[in-house]
Amino acid sequence: LELLEERGEDNLSDEEVDRMYELRLLRSQKNMNNELRQQEQEELQKADEEIAHLKTLLKPKPKKLPKGYVE
């Protein structure tokens, strides 16, 4: 793609221009997919943190007996 862009659209054949646009489209799609993947990873990380927090709230804490009592 870089080689085609360096030559300039005026110096390219129709097939090369078409290929350049296809490559640009693929690059744009790849960037968008990477952004979406990153957002999904962030959401999953937040969900994991929230789940871990909720699990700590659900764990029963051992009850302490008053001094002098033995289990």
> In this predicted structure, what is the pLDDT of residue 53?
92
**Per-residue pLDDT tens over the stretch 9-68:** 788 888 988 998 999 999 999 999 999 999 999 999 999 999 999 988 887 777 777 777
* Structural domain of 29: 2-58
* Number of compact structural domains in the chain: 1
> In this predicted structure, what is the pLDDT of residue 71?
63
- How many residues appear in the chain? 71
Residue 66, in any domain of the structure: no
Return the closest-CA partner of residue 2 out of 18, 24, 32, 33. Answer: 24
Element (H, E) at 24: helix 14-58
DSSP string, 51-62: HHHHHHHHSPPP
Residue 33, in any domain of the structure: yes
pTM metric for this prediction: 0.57
How far is it, in rounded angstroms, from Cα 15 to Cα 44?
Answer: 43
Instruction: Tokens 């110096």: give the residue.
Output: 11
Residue 69, in any domain of the structure: no
